[in-house]
Amino acid sequence: MKYRSTLTIDMHDQQNEEIAKSAQNLFLQQQQILYKRTDQLFARLMIFQWLASIVLAGILSPHTWMGPVSHVHPHIFMAVFLGGAVTFFPVFLIMNKPGEALTRHSVAIGQLLMSGILIHITDGRIETHFHIFGSLAFIAFYRDWRVLTTATIVVALDHFIRGAFAPMTVFGVPSSEYWRWLEHMSWVVFEDAILMVAIAQSVSELHRIAERQAMLELSTVIIKKTEEELKKSRVLENAVEGISQIDKDGRFISVNLAFASIFGYTPQELSGMQWLITIDVSDHAAMIQTLSNAKISGKAEAEATGMRKDGTVFYTQMTLISTFDDEGSYIASHCFLKNISERKALEAKISHQAFHDALTGLPNRILFTDRVQHAFDRAQRLSGTFAVMFLDIDNFKSVNDSLGHDEGDRLLISFARILQESVRPGDTVARMGGDEFTILLEDIQAVEDASRVADRIMESLLHPIALETRVINISSSMGIALSSSTPEDTETLLRNADTAMYLAKTRGKAGYVVFEVSMNQHLVDRLELESALREAVRNNDFQLKYQPVVNMETGEIVGAEALLRWHHIKLGEVAPEKFIPIAEQIGLLEPMGLWVLRQACRQAKIWQEELSVSQSFVMSVNLSTRQFHSANLLQEIKKVLLETGLEPHCLELEITESTLNEDVEATIKTLNLLKELGVLLAVDDFGTGYNTLSYLKRLPVDSVKIDRSFINIMDSGSQPASIVHSIIMLCRALNLSVSGAGIENADQLVQLQLLGCDLGQGYHFSTPIDGNAFLELLKVGFIKREHYAEIEKKLQEYHPAAA
Amino acid sequence: MFYSKFTILFIVWVIVLLAGLRQVTRYDSVPGISAHPQKSWPSASGIHFIRGNYNLVLAAHPQCPCTRASLEELAQLLSHFPKKLNACVLFYKPHGFEDGWEKTGFWKSASLTPGIQVMTDVDGKKATLFDATTSGQVVLYDPNGHLVFSGGITSSQGHIGANNGSEAIAALINGEHTSYRNTPVFGCSLGNSTTRIFKK
């Protein structure tokens, strides 16, 4: 209570001081206005007086005489020059220093001296003496007693000096009579005293008015301030954001409801408590520093771990804004609080996503690269070795395309799990993208350690993987690169592992290869080949060769199979087995296949037109898996047939059994659509995939081409022949034409004839030849007719009855 | 710096003013040559002496501004002693000047004042009889025709107000003692040369 009273008194004293200060300022402002206004009035008056004194002197005392001779009267000179001197300086000051004390005092001196001049000019008339009193009254307009004093001193000095040296001019007597001087001065002082009292009263009234005005203004300010404080306190209280006020000792002065609620307190509980109670101990030092910064710079921000009343923690962002008094002394800080837990969690999530693969949760390329770099640093420090493995899932694209992306994703997740289970806890498994994975094996002694990991992975992959719709078996190709085999370059190490993996793929997949420096040459070769292949596609640098399809019974050429060949100017003849897989990998197979189709159809049409070849002559063209699944397949075929004018039934599309095995229902659908075009359909390489047998009857195909592998081994025993026989029997049952591929000798020809194979092709008849050579063959119409006589003989030897 | 410049200007200004005022004071306070008139009324003057009254003669220059003060002071005296004092104002007129030159406002003012007789005094010949050479010179003779006062009745050049001359005349008429029988005369010269005595 005592404190409150003292505080109240202090506040009143402070307010009184403020009022006094403000009143003084207002008074001084008004006084200045008054001074300047009076200065202006005096400037006008003095100039007027000066001019009037000249006129007056001219009227009253134009000349002085010596008998009949006149001269200009000294009063004229006095009015002009002395009056001018008296007037000039005060007016000059009024113009240059209005409101200044020097100006006022100069005006007082000038004005009183002008009174003296006027009195002299008017012969000292008593009436003119009133000019002095008028001047004093006018000077009183300044409401400055000091100026009146100056005026009085001027009068006193004038009378005193002249009374002493020229008493006649003042008192009309030849000697000084001080009582006369006193009499004179007393009246002046009397008037001045009255004027000064009047001024004092007036000034006092001015002070009171200023004080009242100051009080009024201060009251207005206080009312406004109070209203603002009330408004602010209501705003703070109702603010959604947590806001508190902290004193210089770090204690809460006030907290709003939102602030208290965030920490699980009530505002009353927190009031007066140390603010650090709401911050986790681990952040105390940092937040004390933050508050210190706010006390110095006025504002500071920090993120801290907030602690609730129940001990749970959360992330907060605190903004401290300090307030200072007029002298710049610190008063308090406002703390604006935000719960940023959600943002922090999001940031952590974003950070995790930035360095991890969203699908598998494994580290991504960025994180893996970073870890490899760390491994390099560590290996250098400890003189150790580590290995990087590069892996992908063999034929993953086929899985993805046939089973759908969802199943593909599941496969990737399962594969990632297998990899993680196959490595040590400290090793890093990462997904680089697509079906490419990498493994960082640190602290290994020799390449065998990495090989063991690869073996474990391969062993794990022997077990089928259960997806949602089916169970599949997969394999993986792996490349291993040791840190000791490369310079300290993460990128090179990864590339080496990739190269090794590529080689593993080219070596038949489902295996691993340890990188050696020489492999880089292989990679260079491959890149050259890719480049050349792309150029060949652009320039159509391929050739088509045709292998005749022969009626097994008559030897008549009934068709041709178009076969793609590539002769490179530097690389020479490149085998299809070499460039076709690369073309498939780099996405060129589709345009190449289209080119083959177009060329083959065009060639067939030419032959038909030039040689009046039978309309039953069929041109066979292989369709790659990618082509078969292409959405534009039907349109492209229609377009080619239209362009070339070849009848659809003269075109046979050969589709490999493996292609047909991939999504049976979709395959049948596509085959039906092709069938509707009128083209012939053949199953190529039949027999390699046993699944096809089960649904062959459902496939809308016209013929089956027995895989050359069966034909080639027919000589070796009865089993392969039985298989071929079974295929032929099956086709007969299904009313399908049967063709034998890869017939290389007469024995194979005879056996196929005996088994009832309709058509055949192979080196026994002709190697693939260019269009011109084929034309010559067609002109004959038959192949090796002379051999057929020998074949007839052999047939009789083997099976006389059949012959 | 600015203020100090103005302060210096202020001081210079005050000095200039003091110097100017000193010159004015000097001019105002320098009297003309005082007269030494005859002890008895000069009958040759042609001015009628009225026995039983005090007779006063004022030599005045009709164009001199100081004459105003002297005439006013004289009027004051006459108003106090209307029956005891007779006055004659001799208005100086140089010879050859046109008629009426001397009949200025002062002439008119003096003629309208009761108790004053105005006369033209060509070349100041009458004034010379009273040894008056400075405008404003007053001589006073008692009822018996004896000179009792000679001097000016203004305290300085053309200055109206209390002065020893007027006070002395009043005292003499009242029969009182006065120590001022001669006072300085402030006014223009009635001759061709200056009558003013400048102290060196």
Residue A799 has pLDDT above 60, yes or no: no
Sign of the CA dihedral with A75 first, then A80, A85, and A90 last: positive
Are A174 and B17 in contact (CB < 8 Å)?
A: no
Distance CA A339, CA A499 (A): 51
For residue A503, how many other CB atoms are within 10 A of its CB? 21
User: A367: which 2 tokens?
Assistant: 């994180």
* Range A496-518 average pLDDT: 84
Rounded to two decimals, the ipTM of the complex is 0.84
User: What pLDDT is recorded for position A189?
Assistant: 79
* Each residue's pLDDT tens digit, A30-74: 888 989 999 999 999 999 999 999 999 999 888 888 888 888 888
Cα–Cα distance between B181 and A601 in angstroms, integer? 167
> Which tens digits make up the pLDDT trace of A449-462?
999 999 999 999 88
pLDDT tens digits along A246-257: 888 889 988 888
Mean pLDDT to the nearest integer, A112-137: 85
CB contact under 8 A, B65 and A64: yes
Which chain A residues are closer than 8 Å to B6 by Cβ? 93, 96-97, 102
With 90 as the cut, is the pLDDT of residue A322 above it?
no
Quote the mean pLDDT of chain A.
84
Query: Which of A65, A88, A171 would you mutate first to test chain B, the one with the most B CBs within 10 A?
Result: A65
Computed over every residue of chain B, the mean pLDDT equals: 87
- So what's the pLDDT on residue A190? 84
Distance of alpha carbon A247 from the chain centroid: 40
Q: Which of B28, B164, B194 sits opposite A169 (nearest CB)?
A: B28
CA of B197 vs chain A CAs: smallest distance (Å): 13
Q: Which residue is closest to B65 within chain A, CA to CA?
A: A61
Residue A641 has pLDDT above 90, yes or no: yes
Question: Above 60 in pLDDT, residue A260?
Answer: yes
Percent of chain A past pLDDT 90, that is, above it, reads 25
Q: List the single residue in B with minimal CA-CA distance to A128.
A: B160
Q: Do B21 and A85 touch (CB under 8 A)?
A: no
pLDDT above 50: residue A226:
yes
Q: Give residues with Cβ within 8 angstroms of A292, minimum separation 6.
A: none
Q: Report which of A342, A341, A366, A344 is spatially closest to residue A354, judged by C-alpha positions.
A: A366
pLDDT for residue A744 = 87
Q: What is the mean pLDDT of residues A93-116?
A: 91
Quote the percentage of chain A above a pLDDT of 70.
Answer: 90
pLDDT at A803: 38
Give contacts of B 109-168 with A, CB under 8 A: 124, 135, 155-156, 158-164
Residues A701-722 have a mean pLDDT of: 79
Residue A396's pLDDT band (cuts 50, 70, 90): confident
For chain B, percent of residues with pLDDT exceeding 70: 94
Shortest Cα–Cα distance, B177 to chain A (Å): 17
Contact B9 A124 (CB under 8 A): no
Contact A97 B6 (CB under 8 A): yes
Chain A residues contacting B via beta carbons under 8 Å: 60-70, 73-75, 78, 81-82, 85-86, 89, 93, 96-97, 102, 106, 109, 113, 116-117, 120, 123-126, 158, 162, 165-166, 168-169, 171-174
Residues B79-103: tens digit of each pLDDT: 999 889 999 999 999 988 888 899 9
Separation of alpha carbons A605 and A589, rounded Å = 24
Task: Please report the number of interchain residue pairs, chain A to chain B, with beta-carbon separation below 8 angstroms.
Answer: 124
| Contact criterion met (CB < 8 Å) for B155 and A97 | no
> Nearest CA of chain A to the CA of B133: how many Å?
9
The long-range contacts involving A15-20, CB below 8 angstroms and separated by at least 24 positions, are A15/A218, A18/A218, A19/A211, A19/A214, A19/A215, A19/A218, A20/A211, A20/A214
Count of CB atoms within 10 A of residue A611's CB? 13
Q: Would you state the pLDDT for residue B199?
A: 41
pLDDT tops 80 at residue B169: yes
> In this complex, do A66 and B193 lie within 8 Å of one another by their Cβ atoms?
yes
- DSSP E strands: which ranges in B47-196? 54-60, 85-93, 116-122, 137-141, 147-151
Asked if the Cβ–Cβ distance from A86 to B17 is below 8 Å, we say yes
The average pLDDT across B29-51 equals 87
Smallest Cβ–Cβ distance between A124 and the set B13, B21, B160 belongs to: B160
Q: Give dist(CA B178, CA A301) in Å, integer.
A: 104
Q: Give the minimum alpha-carbon distance from B175 to chain A in angstroms, rounded to a whole number.
A: 21
Residue A2 has pLDDT above 70, yes or no: no
